C-alpha cells in the first residue's frame, strides 16, 4: 500500500495564498493490525497534513479499509 498526498486546496479568493506550514493532522508510526495469523497492517507509517487531498491506493487486500477503520477508531 502506498500513501499519496496531493496539493492542498487553493485560496479561492484570487489573491496570493499564505504559505504557512501546518503540522500534521494525523500521524501513524509503526501501526500493526492482526486478524488471527494474518497481518493486515505491518509497521504502517503515515502522515497527513490538514487541507491536503490524500488517497490510499493499492490492490485488494492491501489494508486500505483497515487503515481507515484504525483512523476512525473502529
pLDDT tens profile 21-56: 668 999 999 999 999 999 999 999 999 998 889 999
What pTM did the predictor assign? 0.65
Among 41, 58, 59, 44, which Cα is nearest to 4's?
Answer: 58
The mean predicted confidence, pLDDT, of the chain is: 81
Q: What is the pLDDT of residue 7?
A: 46
pLDDT score at 1:
52
Q: Is the pLDDT assigned to residue 62 strictly greater than 50?
A: yes
Portion of the chain with pLDDT greater than 70, in percent? 70
Domain boundaries defined on the chain: 24-74
Amino acid at each position: 500500500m502506498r500513501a499519496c498526498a496531493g496539493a492542498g486546496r487553493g485560496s479561492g479568493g484570487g489573491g496570493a495564498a499564505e504559505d504557512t506550514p501546518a503540522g500534521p493532522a494525523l500521524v501513524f508510526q509503526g501501526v500493526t493490525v492482526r486478524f488471527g495469523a494474518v497481518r493486515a497492517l505491518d509497521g504502517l507509517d503515515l502522515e497527513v497534513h490538514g487541507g491536503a487531498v490524500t488517497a490510499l491506493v493499492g490492490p485488494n487486500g492491501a489494508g486500505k479499509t483497515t487503515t481507515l477503520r484504525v483512523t476512525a477508531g473502529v
